[in-house]
Structure 1
Amino acid sequence: MLTDGALRMLVLLHFHTLGFSPVQLAYLFLLYELAGIVTNLSAGWIAARFGLTSTLYAGLGIQVLALLALAALDPGWSLWASVVYVMAVQGASGVAKDLSKMSAKSAVKLLAPSGEGGLFWWVALLTGSKNAVKGAGFLLGAVLLAVLGFVPAILAMALVLALILLAVLLKMPAGLPQGRKGAKFREVFSKDRNINRLSAARLFLFGARDVWFVVGIPIYFYAVLSDGSEEGNRAAFFMIGTFMAVWTILYGAVQAAAPRLLGAAKRPEAELIREARRWAGFLFLVPAALAVLIWSVGAPGAGLTAAIVIGLLVFGAIFAVNSSLHSYLILAFSTSGRVTMDVGFYYMANAAGRLLGTLLSGLSYQLGGLALCLASAALLIALSWAGAGRLRSA
């Protein structure tokens, strides 16, 4: 997750300085998100068939290869040749990330203690720490780009990740499922209405985040903070990376604390389903208010930028509670025999939401700036709220 976050920031900022438009920057991440849809849909079956450790090892190994491939990018290639090549490498990175994430999330269902609130607590802790590490990766990517440059930064990350893969191969404890030969791919598609409705809510929730997060806010801050000089670019890279890191680390910290904030250990599943609806309503208010504020103020200034930063940090905290509730409910709704397939299907919807958000991020920013990105986020959250509103307790 550290290299995943760093790679995203490296690619975004490096190619923005090369003159890529917001829509072209969005293209760079499309295959990454599309690969996530395919990977999550198939990874649940692969893990059920071949075991959870196989998908974890594959995820780490593919990420090392993706980093090495990106380091081989030839600056003499044409614009569109570079776009296609980076899209392909990002696609491989998306496969790597989702194989690793699905493996870890599924293992929680099988390893977490069965006491009151135990599952929610462990899901929240894993998810929160994962996102905090990814947030640190955003800052790491921006700093490495400013200090080392594009290729040395990527090679350094590949080396560290290869050492981690070696350590995991040598030290992986026994106890995770080894797979079953009779697992059928068609079993991936759930017939449980709650799982399907929750997956739809998840799709729109993550679309609402990425519609401003992927392209909109980094490019907005770059326009506000950089004067176009090399020194100005470095300062802008650091500030953008810092914001993205702080936002994601805050998001992860609130995710980890969500069971305690909600008093989950003493609340039945039906009440937590109602909380998922309620927190989606709270989340809608933030991007809607920010969109109105930006449209009414017009020209960016220090005051408006400060309000956007504060508003998006509030968005991140409320978004984290929503995400944590979803992550608990998917495991609560699934059975031990289907957990990898249900989690894979659910994260397929998550990846589809990121793909939708990525597409809309570049397009919305190009057509209407950050205000339109945030207005689109509010609309997607309303759709997520509608999906959560149809969940029913067992």
Structure 2
Amino acid sequence: MDAAVRQYLIITGNYWAFTLTDGALRMLVVLHFHQLGYSPLEIALLFLFYELFGVVTNLVGGYLGARVGLNRTMNIGLFLQILALAMLTVPAAMLTVPWVMAAQALSGIAKDLNKMSAKSGIKLLVPGSEQGRLYRWVALLTGSKNTLKGVGFFLGGALLMLAGFQGAVVIMAGVLALVWLASLVLLRQELGRSKARPKFRDILSKSRAINILSLARMFLFGARDVWFVVALPVYLHTAFGWDYWRVGGFMALWIIGYGAIQALAPTLTHRRADVLPGRGSAALWAGALTIIPATIALALGTGISPQMVLVGGLLLFGALFAVNSSLHSYLIVSLARADGVSLDVGFYYMSNAMGRLLGTLLSGAIFQVYGIQACLWVSSLMLLVATWAVARLPEAAGPTPASADQEQIL
């Protein structure tokens, strides 16, 4: 096994372990606090700092990764997630809204440090001439991560039933601590450190292509979370009478299928070895996705079974969203600079976090006042903006080849 593959497997393993705890914690918080009588908007506010700090972390984290190396930022992310979980082991009386928001803020910082490090690291492990391999590796990392996030959703619901809220977070913190110790030993020390020693002002992207793609990413993920984060699990529980096992299990299966399709995206969009996806493919897939939430919203107003409409529509939405997400993830890694890659990737995922923040807040507020159909209409409007944005990517935008220095270390 060559060094690049070995490092890729270590990065992927770290990402997997982190994602399991992140997905489980998300489901634990939503279901536990809904059980305690919190309103949808109050539950959404619990994640406010999680998403808000993600915006800042991606900007500063990209700069930090270029200065000190991606191995360190990934390990810092793992450690902060352990601390966030530890904060939630306090007695139930101390689990106030501000305390949980603070723990979620720490978890948000941890998650985006980990994700930025993983996605940036892959850019440096694949020669610039092997864009097909880069696309496959990015799709596999992203898809497998989301599959495990779905497992994490199921794990969160199961642990809540079996071990209680505190028992669940203790178990997750212990397992993640073992992964963190292994990562300290195994990750390559110089991975991702920029030779140019970037200045802090370099965190803001100056590339038109990356700015446009970042705008599209913000609206893409806002469109997902505006109905998926709070509205959907609460609606499944209250309108359909699903218990927590069923809600957690269904959403877990959705995420698992979504991740599997993400991993297969190169097969679906990269039919010719000499033609890689670009502006046209991104606009086509985004346009197709735009239709789905609006169709679900219209169908919910007819006499068709709401469960059939929502479940079937969600499956179709997940499949198309998965392809869109993989396309975007490949394009940002491909377009990012080889030296200081974390600066471009960090800026891009800052926009991703901004979209999740917007979607999470709107999910609680719109659902509480207007219901799930309104959430779906807003989702479709946000996807329309995302389609408009990717259609304006520069036609000539293409991969940034690896530098000679980069080729020497692969």
TM, length-normalised to structure 2: 0.89
Q: 1:97 and 2:111 equivalent?
A: yes
Structure 2 counterparts to residues 228-307 of structure 1, below 5 A: 236-263=243-270, 266-269=273-276, 271-297=277-303, 303-307=305-309
Partner of 1:384: 386
**Counterpart Cα distance in 1 of 2:329 and 2:271:** 13
1:161-220 deviation line (CA, Å, top 9, x unaligned):
001111111222456234557321111111111100000000000000000111011000
**Cα deviation digits, residues 222-243 of structure 1 (max 9, x gap):** 11344xxxxxxxx611111111
CA distance in 1, matches of 2:302, 2:240: 21
Runs of 4 or more consecutive aligned structure 1 residues displaced over 4 Å after TM superposition: none
Q: In structure 1, how many angstroms separate the alpha carbons of the residues matched to 2:362 and 2:231?
A: 10
Identity score, percent: 51
CA distance in 1, matches of 2:355, 2:193: 31
- Residue 266 of structure 1 aligns to a residue whose secondary structure is coil
Instruction: Tell me the amino acid that sits aligned with residue 293 of structure 1.
Output: A
CA distance in 1, matches of 2:301, 2:350: 34
Cα distance in 1, alignment partners of residues 245 and 40 from structure 2: 20
Matched residue SS, 1:203: helix
Aligned to 2:96: 82
Equivalences for 1:115-154 in 2 at 5 Å?
Answer: 115-154=130-169
Aligned counterpart, 1:53: 71
Aligned amino acid, residue 192 of structure 2: P
Contact 1:207 / 1:353 at 8 angstroms: preserved in 2? yes
Distance 1:197 1:181, change over 3 A: closer
**1:284-315 deviation per Cα after TM superposition (whole angstroms, max 9, x unaligned):** 11100001112334xxx9x2112211110110
CA drift at 1:325: 0.7
Give the aligned length.
Answer: 377
Letter in 2 for 1:304: P
TM value normalised by structure 1: 0.92
Contact 2:71/2:189 (8 A) holds in 1: no
1: CA distance between counterparts of 2:220 and 2:194? Answer: 32
* Residue identity matched to 2:110: A
The question of whether the paired residues in 1 share the 8 Å contact of 2:192 and 2:340 is answered with no
Structure 1 counterpart of 2:247, one-letter code:
I
**Per-residue displacement from partner, 1:316-360 (whole Å, max 9, x unpaired)?**
110011111111111222220131100000000000000000011
What secondary structure sits across from 1:71 in the alignment? coil
Change (3 A) 1:369 1:218: same
1:167 matches 2:174: no
Q: Which residue matches 2:322?
A: 320
Q: Which residue of 1 aligns with 2:334?
A: 332
Q: Distance in 1 between matches of 2:61 and 2:358?
A: 21
Ranges in structure 1 where 5+ consecutive residues have no aligned partner: 227-234
Gaps (5+ residues) in structure 2? Answer: 1-18, 397-410
1:355 aligns with 2:357: yes
- Once the two structures are superposed, residues 260-293 of structure 1 have per-residue CA deviations (whole angstroms, 9 ceiling, x without a partner) of 1112552535x52201001111001110000111
Q: Deviations along 1:20-77, whole A, 9 cap, x unmatched?
A: 00110100011000011000011000000011111011000000010010111x4335
Quick one: which amino acid aligns to residue 193 of structure 1? R
Residues 58, 350 of structure 2: 8 Å contact kept? yes
Q: Is the 8 A contact 1:216 1:370 kept in 2?
A: yes
Residue identity in the other structure for 1:21: S
Indicate conservation of the 8 Å contact 1:52/1:179, yes or no.
no
* Distance (Å, rounded) in 2 between the aligned partners of 1:177 and 1:373: 40
Quote the Cα distance in structure 2 between the aligned partners of 1:40 and 1:267. 33
Whole-Å separation in 2 of the counterparts to 1:180 and 1:38: 24
Q: Contact 2:366–2:375 (CA<8 Å) still a contact in 1?
A: yes
Contact (CA 8 Å) 1:116, 1:265: kept in 2 or not?
no
**Partner residue, 1:232:** none
